[in-house]
């Protein structure tokens, strides 16, 4: 919150990057929670595609749909970090964006099954018009380079939205290329807009927002995996077969949470350059985190005979996103807090170990979870022995 009480309409001016006690607001938490619907839909459709033997097409659709989910969330989060004034108009325009997210979520199934992106596009129209309106509000109350930045953002958002129309009107064979071009164009907008004047996003606030979204995605992963295990045990009387998968999947999620929050990521966000790399890299962190839950579902379905994939492919559906998650966390922030070769190698070696578990048959998921747990233990011991400041508060690999 920016004030002790809600006000009708206030000037939308930039907040200070060094503002103290800057934390996520209830509106931001509500915004994040609404994205669970879209993430759950994307994960469920990925499971169906892989289980039916269409892994390539399913992964491509997942990459495209999850980008739309992640980019919408990221646009709002960075804008809010710099300009949230919590007046009535700001709240209403944020709620409009939430409505757009729900429209997007309603179109996820059609995007996967029929490559029909109309509802995804309509959801984006709602969200982007509201976001562009927010940037125009910011421009109205700014001057000089900051005003230019805000206008560039508004123009970039609207122009890219026009470009996304290609997903609706072009032949199906062209849509993957339309996505690639437009995804690159979208990611170029912040760099162009902030060329002369960076927005005043708050490092602690941004790292908290990303951390909270990571928790939400991991929570959705646990929820999806729990439903899959329950179904496998109840409908197929296969508790003995699915139990190792359930334990292994849970260990993997615990490890993912541990390694992500083991170090203070906000200290890496000192400039726009670092912020862009860190923020953009989280696409793979979020997508792989959600993919772990989908992978556990595939592994359970394969075990009870409902998935048309091999045991190795089903295990890979868990081990591959798990390895990507560990490597990306290491690349984006964990490696900057490690001393010596031994500490630096813990997460990369754990990722490699998880990949090797792919070939361990029915026990592969459980072994992957154990590999991750051993990595956490080894990292904690190495960190303690190195005597790093804050070891008692932030232990980890």
Q: 206-238, pLDDT tens digit by residue?
A: 999 999 999 999 998 888 888 877 877 776 677
Q: Band of the pLDDT at 397, cuts 50, 70, 90?
A: low
Exposed e or buried b for every residue in 34-71, given b needs 16+ CB within 10 A? bbbbbbbbbbbbbbbbbbeebbeebbbbbbbbbbbbbb
Report domain extents, the chain.
26-193, 203-386
Average pLDDT for the chain:
89
Query: Does the pLDDT value for residue 7 go beyond 70?
Result: no
Cα 10 to Cα 60, 99, 137, distances in angstroms: 43, 23, 10
Across the chain, how many H-helices and E-strands are there?
14, 0
Q: How many of the other CB atoms lie within 10 Å of CB of 336?
A: 12
The count of C-alpha atoms lying within 13 angstroms of the C-alpha of 12, restricted to the half-sphere facing its C-beta, is: 26
Structure token pair of residue 103: 């429209």
Query: Does the pLDDT value for residue 340 go beyond 90?
Result: no
- Give the span between the Cα atoms of 308 and 28, in whole angstroms: 40
Q: Which phi and psi (to 5°) does residue 13 adopt?
A: -115, 160
User: Which of 364, 369, 276 lies closest to 326, judged by CA?
Assistant: 369
- Give the span between the Cα atoms of 370 and 353, in whole angstroms: 10
Choose the weakest-confidence range: 47-51, 251-255, 282-286. 47-51
Convert the pLDDT of each residue in 19-67 to its tens digit.
888 899 999 999 999 998 899 999 999 999 998 888 899 999 999 999 9
Residue with tokens 């508790």: 239
8 or 378: which leads in pLDDT: 378
Residues 296-303, mean pLDDT to the nearest whole number: 90
Supply the CATH classification number for the domain 203-386: 1.20.1410
- Give the span between the Cα atoms of 373 and 295, in whole angstroms: 19
Q: Which residues contact 124 (CB under 8 A, 6 or more apart)?
A: 68, 72, 100, 104, 161, 164
11 or 231: which leads in pLDDT: 11
Q: Band of the pLDDT at 5, cuts 50, 70, 90?
A: low
Residue 241: predicted pLDDT: 84
Q: Band of the pLDDT at 6, cuts 50, 70, 90?
A: low
| pTM metric for this prediction | 0.90
Structure token pair of residue 139: 């421009």
Q: Band of the pLDDT at 394, cuts 50, 70, 90?
A: very low
């Amino acid at each position: 919150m920016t004030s002790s009480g809600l006000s009708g309409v206030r000037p939308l001016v930039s907040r200070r990057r060094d503002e103290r006690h800057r934390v996520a607001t209830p509106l931001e938490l509500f915004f994040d929670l609404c994205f669970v619907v879209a993430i759950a839909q994307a994960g469920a459709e990925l499971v169906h595609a892989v289980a039916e033997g269409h892994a390539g097409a399913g992964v491509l659709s997942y990459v495209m749909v999850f980008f739309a989910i992640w980019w919408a969330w990221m646009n709002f989060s960075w804008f809010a970090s710099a300009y949230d004034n919590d007046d009535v108009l700001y709240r209403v325009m944020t709620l409009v964006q939430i409505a757009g997210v729900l429209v997007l979520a309603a179109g996820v199934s059609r995007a996967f099954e029929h490559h029909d992106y109309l509802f995804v596009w309509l959801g984006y129209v709602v969200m982007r018009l509201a976001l562009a309106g927010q940037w125009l509000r910011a421009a109205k109350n700014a001057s000089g380079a900051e005003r230019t930045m805000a206008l560039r953002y508004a123009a970039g958002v609207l122009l890219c939205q026009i470009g996304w129309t290609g997903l609706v009107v072009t032949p199906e064979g062209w849509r993957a290329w339309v996505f690639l071009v437009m995804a690159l164009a979208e990611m170029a907008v912040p760099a162009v807009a902030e060329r002369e004047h960076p927005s005043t996003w708050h490092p602690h606030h941004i790292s908290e927002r990303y951390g909270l979204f990571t928790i939400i995605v991991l929570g959705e992963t646990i929820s999806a995996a729990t439903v899959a295990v329950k179904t496998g045990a109840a409908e197929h009387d296969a508790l003995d077969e699915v139990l190792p998968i359930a334990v292994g999947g849970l260990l993997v999620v615990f490890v993912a949470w541990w390694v992500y929050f083991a170090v203070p990521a906000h200290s890496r966000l000192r400039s726009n350059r670092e912020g862009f790399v860190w923020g953009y890299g989280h696409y793979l962190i979020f997508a792989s985190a959600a993919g772990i839950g989908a992978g556990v579902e595939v592994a359970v379905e394969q075990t009870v005979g409902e998935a048309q994939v091999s045991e190795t492919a089903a295990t890979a559906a868990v081990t591959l996103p798990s390895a990507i998650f560990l490597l990306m966390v290491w690349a984006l922030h964990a490696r900057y807090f490690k001393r010596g070769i031994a500490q630096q190698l813990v997460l990369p070696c754990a990722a490699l170990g998880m990949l090797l578990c792919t070939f361990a048959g029915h026990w592969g998921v459980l072994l992957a979870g154990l590999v991750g747990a051993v990595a956490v233990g080894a990292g904690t011991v190495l960190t303690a022995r190195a005597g790093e400041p804050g070891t008692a508060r932030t232990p980890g690999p």
